[in-house]
Structure 1
Amino acid sequence: MKAAGAAWVRGSSGSPSREDDAQADAEYLGLDIEALLGAKEETPEIWPWQMTAVEGFLAICTQWRTLAIKDRVVPLGLDYGAAQAGIQLAGLSIDPATWSDITTIEQGAMAEFRRTM
């Protein structure tokens, strides 16, 4: 589930078109994309029983608490009050176990945010 959060931050959907665009751009610029990006990252595997948590996270993925520091915005974590409202407005029913999975996705996203800053 943390890998799903990290993939969300990277914008990875497993779509080959995005990778093809990056490869084409790198070739046009004469760059070695493998050297720039390092090892190819795998698309996270989402099991059917995890889909409710993924749908819940995607319903609230714009509800981040942030802090502006000089010329950048630092995400602090999800705003849980806004997240609760977003989940309700999306018509989702989230139990404590699913909420735990959503916060695990959040942890993966936060780790990827920190890695890329």
Structure 2
Amino acid sequence: MGVETPRPRRPAADPEILEQLRALGAPPEAIAARRSAPAPPPAEPVEIWADHWEAFRWFRACASQWRYAGETAVPLGLDYGGAETAARLAGIEPTRQRFAQLRTLEAAALEALLERRRERRA
């Protein structure tokens, strides 16, 4: 069994993020809102079963391989071509079993992303 310790989250008012917002031309009210937003709670470590460790590593390697649609960037799922490349570059053999596990992780993540999106729009 592996243990994944989450990376520390940046505080809401991280100076680097605020500077990036300014550089991208964000309106002053958006920057002020970010500055006053509470920091997210720290993430708890999670245990990953040994049989799923490589699929979890693969999912983490795919962080930049999500496909989005439309002007509002609705998440659609992973780009499987990019996911396969990410696996190989991370030293993970993309077997059929791991791909099935990856798709399970993708479905759960997509559900959470869409739920968060609905909550923000409500």
Note the 1:5-24 alignment, pairs <5 A.
Answer: 13=6
Query: What TM-score, normalized by structure 1, do the two folds share?
Result: 0.59
Structure 1 vs Structure 2 CA RMSD = 2.8
2:57 maps to amino acid: E
C-alpha distance in 2 between matches for 1:114 and 1:44 = 22
Structure with greater proportional helix content: 1
**90-99 or 43-52, which deviates more:** 43-52
In structure 2, the partner of 1:108 is 108
> Rg bigger for which structure?
2
1:105 maps to amino acid: L
By relative contact order (CA 8 Å, sep 6+), the higher-ranking structure is: 1
Moved over 6 A (4+): none
In structure 1, the partner of 2:98 is 98
CA contact (8 A) 2:68 2:74 kept: yes
Task: Give unpaired runs (5+ residues) of structure 1.
Answer: 1-11, 23-28, 30-41
C-alpha distance in 1 between matches for 2:57 and 2:46 = 15
**SS, match of residue 87 in structure 1:** helix
In structure 1, the partner of 2:69 is 67
Query: What TM-score, normalized by structure 2, do the two folds share?
Result: 0.57
C-alpha distance in 2 between matches for 1:116 and 1:54 = 22
Percentage identity across aligned positions?
A: 33
Residue 83 (1) aligns with residue 83 (2): yes
Task: Give unpaired runs (5+ residues) of structure 2.
Answer: 13-35, 37-43, 118-122
Equivalent pairs counted in the alignment come to 85
C-alpha distance in 2 between matches for 1:90 and 1:116 = 29
